[in-house]
Every structure is written in structure tokens, then in C-alpha cells.
Structure 1
Amino acid sequence: MTEKAIFAGGCFWCMVAPFDQLPGIEGVLSGYTGGHTENPTYEEVMNHTTGHTEAIEILFNPDVISYEKLVEIYWQQTDPTDAMGQFQDRGDNYRPVIFVANAQQRQLAEKSKKVLEASGKYKNPIVTTIEEMCPFYPAEAYHQEFYQKNPERYAQEKLERQAYVIEKESGGTE
């Protein structure tokens, strides 16, 4: 039995790797969701004309890895206090969203968000939204498995994200 999770949290290039190699993960696709245009292209999404955000679609076996665990990993990949982008990626097409497939996923995502809010880890409010899953459109082939196909560029993107987190935690970008 395979289930689906969709998460948006900035550039999808950096979102795939943390999930891709986990036991129970059957596949991770980069793509676009949350917009009003069918089959958007990367250029259209980047031009903010479709309403989509970059996201990943995870196919997983819930008998091996739980949705709760996926949400926990998701929180570690994003800045849940930034509604207009993630790290160095700016714009509404990089907004943080958990797209839920059903009432159970919604309940688990909302519970996890409340735990994060109560943790005191962030001084700013948690703005990640939890929205109904909508059509997911796979990104162009060159975006798929980016971290494997382009290890140097992926390493640079990851380094920039880490630098942004360090700067934010030190009070440099509030």
C-alpha cells in the first residue's frame, strides 16, 4: 500500500535528498502544486503567473515509515516562519506548505505544527500553511533527482541554505 505526501519548502532541489533514501520511500518527485494553471512550466512558475509553489511529492509505504515521521523531517528542512520564501529562495512560489490528502494527514500535520509552536524553537510565528492536496505536476526532467545528477550545484545550494539558517539564528535576518 502506497500513500502520498506533498510538501513545499523552498527550492525542490534541496527538498528531495532528505527523504529520497529513507526506508519505506518508494519515490520522490520534484514538481509544482497549489496553482491555477494545468501543466505549468518552470519558467511560468518562476514568473509568478500560475500560483504554483515548488514542491515534492513523496510516495511512501506507511507500514515502513509513518506520515508523522515525514512531517517531522519536513520541519527540519524549512523555515516555518517565512511565508514569502525559504532561505535564499524568495517569492510566493517558495512558500512553505504541507498539502494534506485526507483528514488523518491534516490532523497529524496540525498536531505537529502545534508541537513546533509550543516548543519555543522560533521566536517568530509559524506561518507554514496546511492546505488540501491539489493537482501535482512533475517538474521537467532536468529537475528530477537534481542532487544526484548535479552534486556540486546541490552542495552549493545546501551550503547557502545552511548559511542562511546560521545567519537567521544569530539574529542577522529577522
Structure 2
Amino acid sequence: MTTVKTEVATFAGGCFWCMVKPFDEMPGIVSVISGYTGGKSINPVYEEIKKGDSGHYEAVQIEFDPELFPYTRLLELYWPQIDPTDDGGQFFDRGSQYRTAIFYHNDQQRKLAESSRKELEESGRFKKPIVTEILPAMIFYPAEDYHQAFYKKNPEKYKQERVESGRDAHIKEYWGAEYTK
């Protein structure tokens, strides 16, 4: 029996509800968990996070098989899901808990993330500077059960959130309709 060696990637991209589906159910993706990282409190809960003063980011943690879905492919999927020029939140979700960041788990991830960000900066795709930070991974706390796989449990609310927030319009404008999910 062969054991699959998986890795973990952590991305903050605003509302974590909208960050699960683009990665979920792809070949080589083992799991995508919504949660909180980067803050000062231990075992935070949503009510604490939504106030915006805990220092946590809403984020997703992805377990993946790098042989089937390399980290570079995760980065290629990550950038179109966010507005990397907005340091005050994402779309209509405002506050520090909705900032964007790539949390690297090893030096290779850091190098690949930095290279990916540089490539995006040099592409000319955005007029404003890229502000998405690349930070060392911190403790990740899974969010409450009702936040997990939200797009499956509440498909209509999920679609409404993406449209009303401006996320889908932004993605379509800068990346093309194939990235809207």
C-alpha cells in the first residue's frame, strides 16, 4: 500500500465562504477547511473575529497532494479569487479580518509565493500596487461547523454573496468568467 504524502497551504482572501469552492473537489485536493489564523487569541470564535480586533484573518487551509496538484497551481487559483490591491478587506467585506495573505508552511512555499506575487506585479494586470502579504504560517483554528463547505450547504446564499459583494464582477473584469464559481 502506498502512502500519499500531502502538504498544507493556507490562504486568506476575504470571506472564507467564497474561498472554498474554487479549490474544493479538484483532483489532488484532500480537504479545504474554513478558519482563522494570525491573531492573538486562542480558539477564537466567529463572533470574536467579525468584530475585527482579534488580529485574525478569515482563511482557508488546504490539504493537497503536490504530485497531483502542485503548490504553484494553488497560487494560480488563489490570485484570481481576490483583489490583491485592497488592504482594507475584500469587496464589501471590510476590516482587518478580511485582508489577503499567503501563509507559507516552508521555505519552498515562501519562494514560490514571492515569485508568483512578483510575476503578478510585473504583469500590469492591476494599476495599483499588490498589497497581499506573504507571511509565515501561524496556528490555524477551524471555523464553526456551519461555516464549513458553506457553498454546498447554502448554494443560493453563496451565489448571492459572490454577486452582491462585487467579487464575481471583479474576477470577471480582471481574469475572465472562467474563474467565477
Q: 2:60 aligns with which of 30, 36, 56?
A: 56
| CA-CA distance at 1:164 after TM superposition | 5.2
CA distance in 2, matches of 1:50, 1:102: 25
Query: Contact (CA 8 Å) 2:7, 2:65: kept in 1 or not?
Result: yes
Say whether residues 1:141 and 2:130 are aligned partners. Answer: no
**Counterparts in 2 of 1:85-124, with a 5 A limit?**
85-124=89-128
Aligned partner of residue 137 in structure 1, secondary structure: strand
8 Å CA contact retained: 2:17, 2:150:
yes
Aligned to 1:162: 168
Give the structure 2 partner of residue 23 of structure 1.
27
Which deviations, in whole Å up to 9, do the C-alpha atoms of 1:102-155 show, x marking residues without a partner? 110000000000000000000000000000000000000000000000000001
After TM superposition, the structure 1 stretch with the greater mean CA deviation from structure 2, 45-54 or 65-74, is 45-54
Q: 1:36 and 2:35 equivalent?
A: no
- SS of 1:111's equivalent in the other structure is helix
Q: CA, structure 1 residues 37+27, in 2 after alignment: closer, same or farther (shift >3 Å)?
A: same
Correspondence for 1:172: none
Number of residues of Structure 1 aligned to a counterpart in Structure 2: 169
Which portions of structure 1, spanning 4 or more consecutive aligned residues, are displaced by more than 6 angstroms?
Answer: 166-169
Q: Which residue of 2 aligns with 1:83?
A: 87
Match of 1:37, SS? Answer: coil
| Corresponding position of 1:151 | 155
